[in-house]
Chains A and B, each alone.
Chain A
């Protein structure tokens, strides 16, 4: 059955079904007051037992375990006064059975969270559900009647993993599940619900375990101990496979492992096409630690150093010294490799409380990034001074986010000159020829690349925002996010124009959006003339592997072919086909 491949690789193993306890909402009323008393006591008992259970798990965790926090939140939610009041109220006033009351109260709470606009708070729905399920499991007794069914994953089933090579089958994986699981024995995950960004997907990816999420109700046919194949690369789950299927996938698994091994050996190989064109692969980073990690993947520097991390999670603006130290440590860690420092890209969905910015109706079209920097000149100068001073310790370049017109470039350059003058007067050394480039992420900038190219030293195409702004799609909006598609011919034409104009004006063009690390796009972008790709470090080996096995000639043919196509569906189908040969 088909799902979403959330973490690549092949796993063949025995299923452990973390079965939904199918608890029914009986819809029945309690006959008399004694029952009310009994159901209330049952609820109180279930809560106490559940809390005891979590306390017991907590006691087994080491003091600095990240899971402790999840457990604390769980304990607090289990004993939550609002939940308790609502449940007891339903039992006493509406004469509901305890389990009905719990299901209804949790469902109502989930509804509140589901409608939240904030990703963090919305994700707490899983914690609330987790607490609800835990209470339900301890409300024993048979439940007569039929009605609406809801699923409750049997969380502690996760602690039953004793056998090597277990494949976890579940409706979804709750945050607390993965803490009690012996993950070293898990070889694969398949879940009914979830997306590429759900908890199960993130854990699987981080641990390198193949996973398929969003498989739907079809997973119900799997029983514990069934032989199951999880193909995380192809997004497939095969139940009770035939011997020929097992052989086929065993071969695929070996090929994947070999491939991974090959990719690992590529870190020291230069990314050169078969006809000798040198391509540069860089990493997107946010810290000195990530700079170090990226070197292991063969990064040739950073095409995007995000500076937001330095400003977030605190109550005051970082001063020049603190910023200087941050940029200096990264510059020095890169050992001569280039680092493109993007100036503060705050606003929109990334807020800083000490900036005191009011909420906006359209944050992505609002006061953010370069717009703030030009408006709050002191803040901007402090950052520029710190970057300039650090430029003594490595090869730093400055990149301006969210440029929409040439005036912004001129204004920013004037402020940069002012910062340079200030440093010169104080006899502080810096790289006088530091490059100043811009992000191309607003359609107006992509269309007027010829104008902008005359006054900047380089372009970097930010495909995430460029795609969002070009297609008028909010990626966070479930109803329209399917329209978000970097292979849309409109987006591709803008990208081609930017690369072409950069070439004509002899300035360097790179790409630092998600598309740069998408192997489906590698040959297409190469063919358009892109020579610098910046991506999450772990994607570098796979992209490099494509580059070293193809020629520029082939890449050009592919891109010409794609640019003549009329839909993203046709384009992605064609690229998938091209990748196979």
Chain B
């Protein structure tokens, strides 16, 4: 299991468009990826779940990845938060 914290830097938060990209990215891997903020955890394979967390700029979240390809999956998600999110 790989766990890592991220700070949402995009001013407008994690909106529908980046959420779409994130879900599509997560679906490429076999591992189960979840997003945790406070005491609420949701699976990352659902856009509805991500939107329901109302993630805004400045929020800190924890991403948890678990499964056979967890290392690659976690790395891809890491790139998403560090690089792709800026471009969206």
Contact = CB atoms under 8 A, between A and B. Distances in A.
Do A and B come together as binding partners?
yes
Interface of A: 69, 72-73, 76-77, 80-83, 109, 112-113, 116-118, 120-121, 124, 127-128, 312-315, 351-354, 356-359
Contacts of A315: 9-11, 86
Contact of B52 (A72, A112, A351): A112
Given A81-B43, A313-B12, 6 more contacts: A81-B46, A83-B48, A109-B52, A112-B52, A113-B51, A352-B57
16 contacts: A73-B16, A73-B47, A76-B19, A76-B47, A81-B45, A82-B45, A83-B48, A117-B54, A120-B12, A120-B13, A124-B51, A127-B16, A128-B48, A351-B11, A356-B58, A359-B58
Nearest to A127: B16
B75 interface: no
B57 A353 contact: yes
Contacts of A80: 46-48
Contact of B54 (A69, A72, A121): A121
B11 A353 contact: yes
Q: Looking at chain B, what size class is its interface with the partner chain?
A: 20 to 34
A118 B54 contact: yes
Given A73-B17, A73-B47, A81-B45, A353 B9 contact: yes
Interface of B: 7-13, 15-17, 19-20, 23-24, 42-43, 45-49, 51-52, 54, 56-58, 86
B57 A351 contact: yes
Contacts of B7: 353
B57 to A, nearest CB: 4
Given A82-B43, A118-B56, A353-B57, A72 B20 contact: yes
Contacts of B43: 81-82
Contacts of A81: 43, 45-46
A69 B11 contact: no
Contact of B16 (A112, A124, A354): A124
A121 B12 CA distance: 10
Contacts of A312: 11-12
Nearest to B85: A315
A312 B13 CA distance: 11
